[in-house]
Amino acid sequence: MPARAVASLLASGLVLAGCGTVSKVRNLAFGPPSPYLSGYVGAVSADEPIAAQTGRDVLARGGNAADAAAATAFALSVTLPSRASLGSGGACLAYRPDRKDPPEAFLFQPVAGSGGPHADRPAAVPMMARGIFLMQARYGSVGFDELVRPASRLAHGGITVSRAFADDLAAVSGPLLADPGAQAVFAPAGTPVKAGDQLVQPLLGETLDQLAVAGAGDVYTGLLAQRLAEGATKAGGGLTTTDLRNALPSVETVQTVSRGNVEVGFSPADGGLARSAFEGGDATRSGRLPASTSFVVMDRDGGAVACDLTMNNLFGTGRIAGETGVVLAASPARVSAPLLPAAIAFNASSRAFRAAVSGSGQGEAAAAVGSAMSNLLRGAPAAPVTDAGRVNSIACSKGLPGDSGSCVAATDPRGMGLATRPD
């Protein structure tokens, strides 16, 4: 761990809203207890509780919003692989008040592989590791390996299956468990795991170990690239090492919308629909769109990250890439493009953080994010705002840095996620 991060680790006692097993999960993800920061450290809101706890621990240990967002994303690859495996893609917004620039968008949506004669379940090129690495490299403060290892520990040590994951599994268990690889992981006793069951993923843990040691580049040009390509071919996904090498995320500076003294930046990964909803326009897209998951993170200095991840289908192709333990995302050539909306608001004059929202809910995801952001800036609850849209949000009505007492994190009350809070 860098000296700056080590020096900032001080004693603290933090709990998470709605969870009585924080110490157990914290020890499982990070090993034996170590010093924690005191006072307000920020917040995480996500669709899956263990992943939210993992991100919150990074904040408590001195990491910033980008660090915690990276840890949350990799934890989701273990706790919610139906929507966010290492095979997934997505998009994030990142903001720091000490910079003069508006939020930046990191775009790593799933792209199609080259396929082949045996690709009966064409897979998307895994984009998550590269996209999250790029975001954390530009905005983070600690070593990348430290943010992958908690997910590895969860995979090796086992997790308690959440309702969010159990519901996804139950929805597609028939076709999914027809694949022997998926059955071995998600129905090890012959029946699908249920909420409250233990789930161990040793092969995925080994892949995460390799990622922590060799870095994100190994997924695209190294040993992991070879293993993923070979595993995807055996699983009918049709990926090659060339597909992996050529898959690059992009970075865009977003345009902001003004509301009084507040500027709001929107992710371009939803085609401008969340911005349209924020401004009072129609933002619902019709048709069958892929499932996704979202989370938001804010640190004690007012830095923020809002992300959406997707497999382009629940459990993607429904197959696992060989011995990697990675569930392959579905090729975008076979499905509609997902909506991956997110927004971050800040004061135009002081640049203090005001709010961050990300959302899911297929065709209503962008409408939910735009409407939720509008509500937050008026002092109203973020959700519910649409029938199907689900949002995660953090808002500081008086701005941060400044008044941490005005900050509230929330997950959609109709979902099964977790929003963290300080003692």
What is the percent of the chain where pLDDT is above 70?
Answer: 90
Closest to 372 (Cα-Cα) out of 351, 393, 388, 353: 393
123 forms beta bridges with 330
**Number of folded domains in the chain?**
1
Do the domain assignments include residue 194? yes
Of the pLDDT bands very low, low, confident and very high (cuts 50, 70, 90), residue 9 is very low
**C-alpha span between 318 and 179 (Å, rounded):** 7
SS3 54: helix
**C-alpha span between 49 and 79 (Å, rounded):** 9
Determine the average pLDDT of the residues in 318-323: 96
225 has pLDDT over 50: yes
Query: What is the pLDDT, as a whole number, of residue 28?
Result: 44
Query: What is the pLDDT, as a whole number, of residue 421?
Result: 73
Do the domain assignments include residue 117? yes
Determine the average pLDDT of the residues in 45-56: 97
**C-alpha span between 71 and 135 (Å, rounded):** 12
Query: What is the pLDDT, as a whole number, of residue 116?
Result: 67
Do the domain assignments include residue 1? no
Measured CA to CA in angstroms, residue 255 lies from 27, 138, 192, 267, 401 at distances of 41, 19, 45, 9, 23
Of the pLDDT bands very low, low, confident and very high (cuts 50, 70, 90), residue 35 is low
Range from 21-30, 262-271, 361-370 carrying the lowest mean pLDDT:
21-30
24 has pLDDT over 50: no
Do the domain assignments include residue 10? no
**C-alpha span between 312 and 322 (Å, rounded):** 20
SS3 364: helix
Do the domain assignments include residue 2? no
Dihedral over alpha carbons 96, 98, 100, 105 (to 10 degrees): -10
Do the domain assignments include residue 411? yes
Query: What is the pLDDT, as a whole number, of residue 32?
Result: 43
Determine the average pLDDT of the residues in 199-224: 97
SS3 357: strand
Give the structural domain span for 360. 20-419
Of the pLDDT bands very low, low, confident and very high (cuts 50, 70, 90), residue 11 is very low
81: left (phi over 0), alpha (psi -120 to 50) or beta: alpha
23 has pLDDT over 80: no
Do the domain assignments include residue 94? yes
Determine the average pLDDT of the residues in 208-223: 97
**Residue 210 neighbours by CB distance under 10 Å:** 19
pLDDT tens per residue across span 307-319: 999 999 999 999 9
Residues contacting residue 50 through CB under 8 Å, at least 6 positions apart: 25, 29, 75, 79, 154, 159, 160, 162
Query: What is the pLDDT, as a whole number, of residue 290?
Result: 87
Do the domain assignments include residue 144? yes
Cα four-point dihedral sign 5, 11, 12, 13? positive
pLDDT tens per residue across span 82-126: 999 999 999 999 999 999 899 999 999 999 998 866 788 999 999
Closest to 177 (Cα-Cα) out of 164, 161, 165, 188: 188
**Residue 374 neighbours by CB distance under 10 Å:** 20
Query: What is the pLDDT, as a whole number, of residue 273?
Result: 95
pLDDT tens per residue across span 145-185: 999 999 999 999 999 999 999 999 999 999 999 999 999 99
